[in-house]
Every structure is written in C-alpha cells, then in structure tokens.
Structure 1
Amino acid sequence: MKKKIAVLLGGTSSERNISIKSGNSIVQSLLKSGFDAYSIDTRDYSIINLKKDKFDKAYIALHGKGGEDGSIQGVLEYLKIPYTGSGIMASAISIDKFRTKLLWKSYNLPIVPDVYIKKKNAIPLNSFTIKKILKLKFPILIKPNNQGSSIGITLVSSMKELSKAIDIAFSYNDDILIEKFIKGKEYTVTILNQKTLPTIHISTKNNFYDYNAKYKSFSTQYSCPSGLNIIQEKKLKKIAILAWNALSCKGCGRIDVILDKTNKFWLLEVNTIPGMTNRSLVPMAAKEAGISFDELVLLILNISN
C-alpha cells in the first residue's frame, strides 16, 4: 500500500508564496516516486485532522513562523505523526537569530557583533543603546529577529537612517537585531543527514543577499563548486557542521556565512527548512554532489522524527 504523505505548505507567514512553490515541487516529486502525496495548506486546513485523514508522514515545506519555529513540530509530535526536519527545540531556537547566536558564541564559533533590542524598551532609544550601536560602526544591518528570506532587513549607513529602519524591522517582530555589516563574499553550506554538500558562493550586485537578490533579480550568480581552495572549503564545512550540531538540528538545512577581507568566516544564520524551488540552493548543492531533485526529496523524507 502506498504511503500517504501530507506536504505542509503555504501557511500564514510572510514567506507563504515561496513555501507554496517549494511544497508543490515536493508533491510533484513524491507523486513521481510513487507516494500518495497531497498539498496541505495549513492556512486552510487544521493539521489536527492529519490523524483522522490517515496520513503516514508529514513533509514540512513551511518557511518562517508557524512552520520553522517548533509550533507545528509540537502538534505533529502530539499526533504521533513522523515529520521531516529538525525537532521542536532546534526549530524554536534556530528561527530566533539572537538565541542562535548566543548558543554559537558559547561554542566559540565566529558570530557577527550585534545589539539586541526589544520593542517595549526601544522607543525612544536611550543613550546607552545608541552608544552600543555606534560602537558597531556604520554601515550596520537592522533585521527582525524571527524572520526568514531577508524580509524586513535594511542596510543603514548613517544615524539619520536608523529610526526608519528600526520601524521597518519592528513591523515584522517585537524584537530586532542590529548587526555590524561585514562586506565580503557570501557562502552557504547545505547539510544533509549530518554530511555537508558542496558549498555555494553567492554573488549579487545588491549591497547584500536581500529578498530581491534571492527571489527577483536575474543578476544574482551562484557558483557551485564555490571556488574556495581546499583548506578554506574544509574550514568552512567544519564551522558549518559545528554550528548545525550546536543547535541539535537534523534532516536537511543550510548554514549561511560570510568571508571578510581578512579571510575570516563569520556565521550569519541557519535555515532549518530551506527552499525547494527552481532557484533554491539546496537542490543546486545536491546536484553538484550527484543527487537528483527526486533523490533529494526522498532522502529528506527518510530522515524523519
């Protein structure tokens, strides 16, 4: 009898549209591989019904809040339905940029200097907070603490641009991160079942790899293999796997890093449910490793909680 798979997609986060694209690609692949797969939009379907509707497994293709933050993982564990990706705790921490960085720091991993601000303490900014921000030195990045896909991020070059950028970030989250902007080369490392896949170098004409560079611009270039020498590649993969394991992540995900002008790698963030669209980086890294899209989908499906 065919296994019945619920591919959870859509949802209500700001990354809804990308999630639908990812999920539909996964459904088509699973159908091709002989599974009884269904697109389940969690915005319109109560996942409590998964048990009643006799689903054997959930394939999570939800990005952002409600999919990557441990909440849906908790419901699936309560229902005793196996699911793909990281567990409750790893998901909840990984979506929280500030707490992710605290954990990485405790492992002596290289994190970008930052200032963390909660909305209730932020308006207006007190002199102590302003001093801490100025210590980072411009340019700086203002980002919501719990958003993905570079949504709500602003690059700020002077004090007069600060308050508008803070307002934008607070419109997505009640807490934000202000980070030192490190100019350098961006790389991403895919991790699949505790093994690293070939790294990808991302080059964009934008100031950084923002939402437009990710999903709209045709000038963004991806190099896989990344062009790093063997020593750098080894070093980067070691940092990535340590960062992944520090958060107890599992399944498949990505670690994003930047290489500065002094050849030092800095961790940027982790993605526990990476995109699976035609522009997505995980399928690109898998292809370089000789893994087809359909094989990748099956490998992720088989590493379930």
Structure 2
Amino acid sequence: MPSSTSPDEIAGPVAIIAGGLSHERDVSLVSGRNLVRELGSVGIEAHAYDFDRNLLTALERDKVVVAMPILHGQFGEDGEIQTLLELIGMPYAGSRSHACRVAFDKGTARELLRRAALPVPDSVGLSAQTFRDIGAPALMEHVMKRLGARVVVKPARGGSALGISGVDGLAALPSALVETYAYCEDALIERFHDGIDVSVAVIETDEGLRALTPIAVEYEKGHEFDFSARYTAEFVSLDRPDLPEELIARLGEVACEAHRLLGLRDLSRSDFIVSPDGSFVILETAIAPGMTETSVFPYACTASGTTLGEVARDLLLRAVRTA
C-alpha cells in the first residue's frame, strides 16, 4: 500500500507496547517483537515496552513520540492502556479507550451487531455467579433447548482461543463452563455453526476503511479450539478462501461495517464462519489483532500487496498527524 508520507515525519522513537499481565502475555510479546522487526524494515525506529509500573516513566525518559499497543486481552483491549496513553497525551495507533470498553465484551459487541442486522450466532451469556447459585441442572437443559445440542463455550472477554471449547451434548456443558470460568467470570454459550473459518482484517487509510484480502484459517483436526494451534505453523494453515468473489466482497463490507458500528479506529480483525450454502455469521471483531508470524493480520497484509511494516508505519503516521 503506497504512502504519500515519509518515515521522517515520525521525529523520534516509536513504542510498541506489548506483554502485560493477561493470559495472552506470551502471544503479545511475540507480536511485539515481530512488529518491531517489521517496522525496522521500513525505516522506523521502534522499541518494545512492557506494560508494567515502569511504562510511563520509560516513555517519557526515551522521548517516545507515538505508540502502538499490541496488548491482547485484559489491560490491552479493554481500554486500560488506551486510557493511560490518553491521560499523558501520547499519540497512538489503534482504537480509543471508550470503543475498546464496548467492543472487548463479546456479548455487548454482538448485541450491537445484531441490532444493526449483521448476522451473529444465537447465544446465551451466563455468569459464574449464576452458574453457582442456580445450579447446572436447572440451566443446562434450557440452554441446549434454545441453542441446540452442539455449542461453543467461550469467555465473554479475551482471545487466542483460551478457555474456548466445543461441546457436543448436554453432559459435557457444565465442565466446559467451569473451564471457561477459569479465564473469565462471564461465559458466552453460542450455537455451533459448521463451515470454514474466515478472518477479514480492516485498516483505516487516508481514503477511508479498507478490508484486506479475507483469509481462510484451517486448523488440524482436533486442534480447532487449541491455544497452541493458533501459533504453531504445523497445526494451522492460512490461505485465500475458495469462495465466490461476491461473497468475498460481502465479507469485507460486513467487516468494515462491524468496525464502524463498534466505533473502532485504525485496525481490527473480524472472524466469520462461512457455511457451505454461502451464509455466514460474524463471531467477533478483535481490537488488537495478533501480529505473530502465524497470525492472520500479517498474512492478510502480504496477500493484499503490502506488508505489516508498511501498514503499521502508515497507521503511526496517521496517529502523529491527527494528534
């Protein structure tokens, strides 16, 4: 993606803020290292900073001029790091704190998309408190009656497939919920949709929103809900989906619409399940997409004729210009 600006417009160091204290810390660190390397390849001096008590002091000491948070999960996608950067007046690439607070909760975000007539899976939110106080037997049968015998259980907040499991039958649902509650006190139980996983990255440019080439994500059988499979090349393959061009275009339109409806800025990644008949549902929209070497976002950049470094550079330049 060509840019009419020069890297020299960033007159100082760039901070890539990664790590943090969430369950996704290790993934975030890998994303951060990869992004620093990619930015270096396009002439941007970038350094990785951990999200800890020394962060604000380090940013001031090093005279950082713009930042890009690559924190996944809590503190990174829930608006916390964004609030801190806004408080100190630091320009940054990515969504603002108020939008993060809304989009980070899958149930809330999904309801906003549903009200806008975007296709989302039917789902039920269930807190750990309700699960304990009401009891599993009184709840599970009603959940399955509404959603069907095959469901997916996931934390209402978080990512990287942590705490997610596929459930086939009533007997397995309580234990799946217990596993999910280890990661988040609120669970989302959703109807299972059979089809292919397709992710669409969205970036903001001077010309407006741009959906990058959709990417089909295929996991080795048995690793569909496996955290390690997300970041192990032998368990996951990425490719352009074999879908009609009209459907490819429609997925891009819906991903852009989800980005707008949730009030996001600069970049996002929407995940879909596309059924054999061409229908689809949007599962979620990620605020801070993974940027590891096996992540969808860098692959989508390459498939769209650009690179992760070029995209990140342009987003950082936009952040500086609009600060």
- Corresponding letter in the other structure for 2:82: Q
2:28 alignment partner, SS class: helix
Deviation at 1:209, TM superposition (A): 5.3
Per-residue CA deviations over 1:183-236 (Å, capped at 9, x if unaligned) read: 111101110111101111112233535423312351422112x22111111221
- Give the 3-state SS of the residue equivalent to 2:288 in structure 1: coil
Match of 1:282 among 297, 300, 305: 297
- Return the TM-score normalized by structure 2: 0.88
Q: What TM-score does the superposition give when structure 1 sets the normalisation length? A: 0.93
Q: Distance in 2 between matches of 1:89 and 1:291?
A: 30
Please give the alpha-carbon distance, in whole angstroms, between the structure 2 residues aligned to 1:126 and 1:90: 37
Residues 1:126 and 1:279: Cα distance change in structure 2 (over 3 Å)? same
2:223 corresponds to 1:221? no
Q: 1:24-173 alignment to 2 at 5 Å? A: 24-43=33-52, 45-47=54-56, 49-51=58-60, 53-123=62-132, 124-125=135-136, 127=138, 130-173=141-184
Task: Specify the code of the residue in structure 2 equivalent to 1:110.
Answer: P
TM-superposed CA distance for 1:65, in Å, is 0.8
Displacement of 1:162 after TM fit? 1.4
Structure 1: tracts of 5 or more residues without a match: none
Quote the Cα distance in structure 1 between the aligned partners of 2:77 and 2:255: 19
* 1:133/1:178 contact within 8 Å kept: no
Letter of the aligned partner of 1:64 in structure 2?
G
For the aligned residue pairs, the C-alpha RMSD in angstroms reads 1.9
> CA shift at 1:244, angstroms?
1.3
Q: Which amino acid in the other structure matches residue 80 of structure 1?
A: G
- How many residue pairs were aligned? 304
**Secondary structure at the residue paired with 1:122?**
helix
Q: Which runs of 5+ in 2 are unaligned?
A: 1-7
- Whichever residue aligns with residue 77 of structure 2, its letter is E
Structure 2 Cα separation of the partners of residues 177 and 65 of structure 1 = 17
Provide the secondary structure at the position in 1 that maps to 2:136: coil
Deviation per residue, 1:228-255 (Å, 9 max, x gap): 1111112211211111111011111210
**Mean Cα deviation higher: 181-190 or 33-42:** 33-42
Distance 2:226 2:247 in 1: 25
Distance 1:67 1:183, change over 3 A: same
Paired with 1:90 and 1:75, the residues of 2 have a C-alpha distance of: 15
Contact 2:202–2:256 (CA under 8 A) maintained in structure 1: yes
